[in-house]
């Protein structure tokens, strides 16, 4: 059979990644601050975009603008006006197609008007932030000064694997002041998060082991005690000294010697060692101004027992297309370069308004589904987090997993239990041994801890025994997973626990 060359025409469908489509995808993962920066850049770049005045509630009417200018445009400009209107129709049709590829099934869906959304929201779309591909800022390459909160958050990610403990730890880190001290009582924190007091105190002890020594203390005495423990110098005499710091301030050496049970020489050495400690460990880090987290979504109880999910209007900058200016310029431009520039500005402005309106709708849609899935956490606290992944949310709202992933990046939700990043609500799942509903990883950790706490010194549970007990309870889990969870909770091995409990019995006897 001879090989020949020939031309054929075929019809096929394919997703074309236009620049507008790629930019719409990027808009999804921008934070509220990046959103504002992006809109400000577009306002400077595009003359057809403008910020609405505070007193305006409706976009300008092009027909009214024409009447104000003296009626219909001149005949010499009719052909160009028709050309622009034709281009505008084509632009809007193409934009509709592009946006449907990014936000499937969202284009015509009704969105509940939030009580916090401003009037005219459908005309004033929320807008996103970020730079274009060709734009970059040299300041972004400058090394940022490390803050205490960032330093502690990095250590938290490396030390704690349990998502519930991470959430508690991040909340505690947010309460650390510039000097490195925790502001607030553990009981109040536990009540707010709906977590056991013992769990909050356990996470606090983990934070107090972080660098710098003495951080996350609740008072000066505890701060110095942590540093002395780090140096292995917290003996009974030194403990008595840090518990009587008011005597040190009054220079009551006689009272200090009596309280510590030491002589003059030892007391002098102890006070010299105290002076080498850092009473404000947080001051070693940058004192950059802390930017408060502005939530993108508000969640509050509904009168019917459910939850109301609303967008935060403060994170939705507003822009509109200046139709009056567009109509005026359309009647006067004559050069091809000017027509091309005006058409490009119209296309960019129309795309921006539509894309960012869809962005706001998508955030609201994803947040509503997360609230529906994690209503147990909102009602009863962190112990009731359900296993949740991106696919579950994506399937529920008929979107792709990558879209949900971008929406949950750099977005925060304000609840009655605090402000959380949307990604915090996604936790891993442990399969059920009998094919029933999966168990959340946190609940499995809690059950492992309960089994170990209830064991007797004569019957220490090995990891294999724990696996068998969990399978009898309907939890299918591997031994290495049990060991990983046990180590994450800082529970020693069965051999170490047997030694510790036997030693405790010997001391008690």
* 100-109 mean pLDDT: 45
pLDDT surpassing 70 at residue 98 = no
Please report the pLDDT score of residue 90 as a whole number: 53
- pLDDT at position 108 over 60: no
Q: Where in the chain is the domain with CATH 1.10.10?
A: 430-508
Strands 439-440 and 412-415: unpaired
Report, as an integer, the average pLDDT of 429-452: 72
437 pLDDT band, cuts 50/70/90, is low
Kindly report, residue by residue over 45-75, the tens digit of the pLDDT. 889 888 887 644 444 444 333 333 443 334 3
Comparing 40-44, 140-144, 279-283, the range with the smallest average pLDDT is 140-144
Only one residue has tokens 């009037």, namely 119
pLDDT of 131 over the 50 cut: no
Maximum average pLDDT range among 215-229, 290-304, 336-350: 215-229
Is residue 244's pLDDT more than 60?
Answer: yes
Radius of gyration of the chain (CA): 31
- Give pLDDT, residue 75: 39
Task: State pLDDT tens for residues 174-192.
Answer: 999 888 999 888 888 998 8
Distance CA 131, CA 26 (A): 10
Over the stretch 246-256, which tens digit does the pLDDT of each residue have? Answer: 888 888 888 88
**Predicted local distance difference test score (pLDDT) of residue 129:** 36
What's the confidence (pLDDT) of residue 417?
85
Q: Which helix (H) or strand (E) holds 309?
A: strand 307-311
What pairs with residue 143 in β-bridges? none
What mean pLDDT is predicted for residues 308-320?
89
3-state secondary structure of 4: coil
Share of the chain above pLDDT 70, in %: 75
d(CA 135, CA 57) in angstroms, rounded, equals: 33
Percent of the chain predicted with pLDDT > 90: 19
Please state the rounded mean pLDDT for residues 365-385.
87
pLDDT at residue 466 greater than cutoff 80: yes
Task: Tell me the C-alpha distance between 250 and 235, whole Å.
Answer: 23
In this structure, whether the domain defined by 430-508 belongs to CATH 1.10.10 is answered with yes
Q: Residue 370 has what pLDDT?
A: 94
pLDDT-wise least confident of 139-143, 297-301, 309-313:
139-143
Q: Is the pLDDT of residue 29 over 70?
A: yes
DSSP for 137-169? Answer: -GGGGSPPPPBHHHHHHHHHHHH---HHHHHHH
Tell me which range, 15-24, 71-80, 149-158, 326-335, is most confidently predicted by mean pLDDT: 149-158
What pLDDT is recorded for position 429? Answer: 63
List the 318-321 sheet strands across, edge first. Answer: 49-50, 318-321, 125-126
Residue of 295 and 89 predicted with greater confidence: 295
Average model confidence (pLDDT) across the chain: 78
**Cα dist. 352→21, 41, 363 in Å?**
11, 12, 16
Measure CA of the first residue to CA of the last residue in the chain; give whole Å.
97
Report the pLDDT averaged over residues 134-156. 69
pLDDT on residue 152:
93
420: enclosing H helix or E strand: strand 418-421
Predicted TM-score (pTM) of the model is 0.54
- pLDDT at res. 55: 42
* pLDDT given for residue 12 in this prediction: 81
Buried b (16+ CB within 10 A) or exposed e, 217-238: beebebbbbbbbbbeeebeeeb
- What is 94-110 written as a DSSP string? HHHHHHHHHSTT-TT--
Q: Are 180 and 280 in contact (CB under 8 A)?
A: yes
If pLDDT is split at 50, 70 and 90, which confidence band does 412 have? very high
| pLDDT band of 216, cuts 50, 70, 90 | very high
Please give the average per-residue pLDDT across 297-325, as a whole number. Answer: 89
């Amino acid at each position: 059979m001879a090989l020949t060359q020939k031309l054929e025409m075929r019809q096929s469908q394919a997703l074309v990644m236009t620049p507008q489509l790629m930019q719409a995808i990027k808009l999804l993962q921008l934070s509220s601050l990046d959103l504002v920066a992006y809109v400000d850049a577009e306002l400077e770049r595009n003359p057809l975009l403008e910020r609405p005045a505070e007193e305006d509630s409706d976009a300008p009417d092009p027909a009214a603008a024409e009447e104000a200018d003296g009626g219909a445009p001149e005949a010499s400009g009719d052909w160009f006006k028709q050309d622009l209107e034709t281009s505008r129709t084509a632009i809007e049709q193409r934009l509709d197609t592009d946006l449907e590829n990014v936000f499937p099934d969202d284009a015509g869906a009704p969105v509940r008007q939030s009580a916090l959304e401003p009037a005219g929201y459908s005309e004033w779309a929320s807008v996103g932030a970020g730079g274009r591909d060709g734009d970059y800022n040299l300041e972004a390459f400058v090394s940022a000064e490390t803050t205490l909160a960032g330093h502690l958050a990095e250590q938290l990610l490396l030390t704690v694997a349990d998502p519930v403990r991470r959430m508690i730890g991040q909340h505690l880190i947010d309460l650390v002041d510039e000097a490195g001290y925790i502001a607030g009582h553990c009981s109040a924190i536990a009540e707010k998060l709906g977590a056991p007091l013992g769990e909050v105190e356990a996470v606090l002890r983990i934070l107090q082991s972080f660098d710098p020594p003495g951080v996350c203390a609740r008072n000066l005495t505890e701060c110095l005690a942590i540093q002395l423990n780090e140096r292995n110098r917290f003996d009974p005499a030194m403990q008595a000294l840090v518990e009587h710091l008011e005597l040190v301030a009054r220079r009551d050496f006689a009272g200090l010697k009596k309280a510590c049970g030491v002589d003059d020489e030892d007391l002098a050495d102890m006070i010299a060692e105290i002076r080498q400690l850092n009473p404000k460990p947080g001051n070693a880090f940058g004192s950059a101004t802390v930017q408060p987290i502005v939530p993108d979504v508000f969640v509050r109880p509904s009168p019917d027992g459910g939850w109301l999910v609303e967008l935060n209007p403060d994170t939705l900058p507003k822009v509109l297309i200046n139709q009056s200016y567009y109509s005026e310029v359309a009647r006067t431009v004559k050069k091809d370069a000017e027509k091309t520039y005006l058409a490009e500005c119209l296309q960019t402005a129309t795309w921006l308004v539509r894309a960012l309106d869809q962005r706001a709708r998508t955030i609201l849609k994803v947040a509503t589904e997360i609230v529906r899935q994690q209503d147990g956490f909102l009602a009863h606290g962190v112990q009731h987090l359900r296993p949740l992944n991106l696919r579950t949310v994506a399937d529920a709202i008929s979107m792709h997993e990558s879209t949900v992933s971008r929406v949950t990046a750099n977005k925060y939700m304000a609840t009655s239990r605090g402000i959380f990043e949307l990604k915090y609500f996604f936790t891993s799942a442990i399969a059920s041994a009998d094919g029933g509903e999966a168990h959340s990883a946190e609940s499995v950790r809690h059950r492992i801890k309960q089994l170990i706490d209830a064991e007797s010194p004569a019957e220490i549970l090995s990891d294999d025994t724990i696996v068998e007990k969990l399978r009898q309870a309907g939890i299918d889990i591997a031994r290495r997973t049990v060991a990983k969870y046990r180590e994450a909770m800082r529970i020693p091995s069965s051999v170490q626990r047997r030694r510790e409990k036997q030693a405790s019995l010997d001391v008690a006897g």
